[in-house]
Amino acid sequence: MSDTPTVPQQGVSAQAPQAAPAARIRPAAAEDLAAIRNIYNHYVRTSTVTFDEEETDLAVWEHKLDLLGATGLPFLVAEDAEGIVLGFAYAQHWRAKSAYRFSAENTIYLSPDAAGRGRGKALLEALLDASAKAGLHELIAVIEPTAAAASIALHRRYGFVDAGHLKGVGVKFGRTLDVLFLQRSL
Ligand SMILES: CC(C)(COP(=O)(O)OP(=O)(O)OC[C@H]1O[C@@H](n2cnc3c(N)ncnc32)[C@H](O)[C@@H]1OP(=O)(O)O)[C@@H](O)C(=O)NCCC(=O)NCCS
């Protein structure tokens, strides 16, 4: 597989199902960061899928792009045929201590309009492939169980298994929140 996993454009064949999503998956670049920030901030404002409570600014994403680039870890975007960013996914070292160097936490977000049509599967599949190529051994997804049914289903479908349940570790919108750990070996 190539270093820039690509989901073939659908609709080129008369037999292709009309509902199939068109998305190209490629490494994130600086010009994608404003769109990435906007997608992420939607969930900061509206959901407990992220435990951030304040909207992120561009500098956060510039730093992440630099960090992932420097550590050789994948940061991918899915874009539509017009080049609109539909979502993003990355794998970032789980902990800074060096013995954790083969383990990463994976993150995936689609814009609300793009979710629920198979694009999460395409993006996670590409991230798994890129993470293995980057030399990672283990991926860990950290998921708030009440808000992220789609994320739990997606990760389980790709072989992530339950690895822990922390109770009451977050508070957002006045609610006390748990997190699930799901883990997959690469
Ligand atoms: C999580 C997310 C990336 C999944 O991507 P998606 O494109 O919506 O999901 P897909 O259409 O690829 O479906 C993936 C699987 O989840 C299932 N699924 C999708 N939405 C679901 C829902 N609301 N409840 C239960 N299962 C759901 C699908 O049926 C599919 O499983 P299947 O192939 O076995 O049928 C996307 O919904 C999203 O960005 N959500 C908001 C942000 C978020 O929660 N990020 C993760 C933080 S931990």
Q: Where are the domains of the chain?
A: 24-185
The CB of 108 under 6 Å from ligand 1? The reply is yes
Distance (Å) of CA 155 to CA 3, 91, 133, 184: 22, 14, 19, 9
The pLDDT of residue 4 is 37
Superfamily of domain 24-185, CATH level 4:
Gcn5-related N-acetyltransferase (GNAT) (3.40.630.30)
Q: 4 or 49: whose pLDDT is higher?
A: 49
**CA 184/CA 159 separation, integer angstroms:** 6
Instruction: List the single range of 11-15, 64-68, 120-124 with lowest mean pLDDT.
Output: 11-15
Please report which confidence band the pLDDT of residue 1 belongs to, taking 50, 70 and 90 as the band edges.
very low
Across 162-166, average pLDDT? 97
The CB of 118 under 6 Å from ligand 1? The reply is yes
**CA 112/CA 97 separation, integer angstroms:** 35
Are 56 and 36 a contacting pair, CB within 8 Å?
no
The pLDDT of residue 70 is 96
Instruction: List the single range of 1-10, 33-42, 112-121, 136-145 with lowest mean pLDDT.
Output: 1-10
- Host H or E run for residue 65: helix 58-71
Could you say which DSSP state residue 38 is in?
H
Residue nearest (by alpha carbon) to ligand 1 atom 1: 151
Nearest to 142 by CA among 92, 89, 181, 107: 181
Instruction: Report CA(99)–ligand 1 centroid distance (Å).
Output: 32
Are 77 and 36 a contacting pair, CB within 8 Å?
yes
Across 34-52, average pLDDT? 98
The pLDDT of residue 6 is 38
Residue nearest (by alpha carbon) to ligand 1 atom 5: 120
Instruction: List the single range of 17-26, 40-49, 114-123, 168-177 with lowest mean pLDDT.
Output: 17-26
Please report which confidence band the pLDDT of residue 23 belongs to, taking 50, 70 and 90 as the band edges.
confident
Across 26-42, average pLDDT? 98
**CA 55/CA 46 separation, integer angstroms:** 11
Listed in sequence order, the residues at least 6 apart from 149 whose beta carbon sits closer than 8 Å to its beta carbon are: none
Strand partners, 26: 77
Could you say which DSSP state residue 114 is in?
G
**CA 137/CA 29 separation, integer angstroms:** 25
Please report which confidence band the pLDDT of residue 21 belongs to, taking 50, 70 and 90 as the band edges.
low
Does residue 39 have a pLDDT over 50?
A: yes
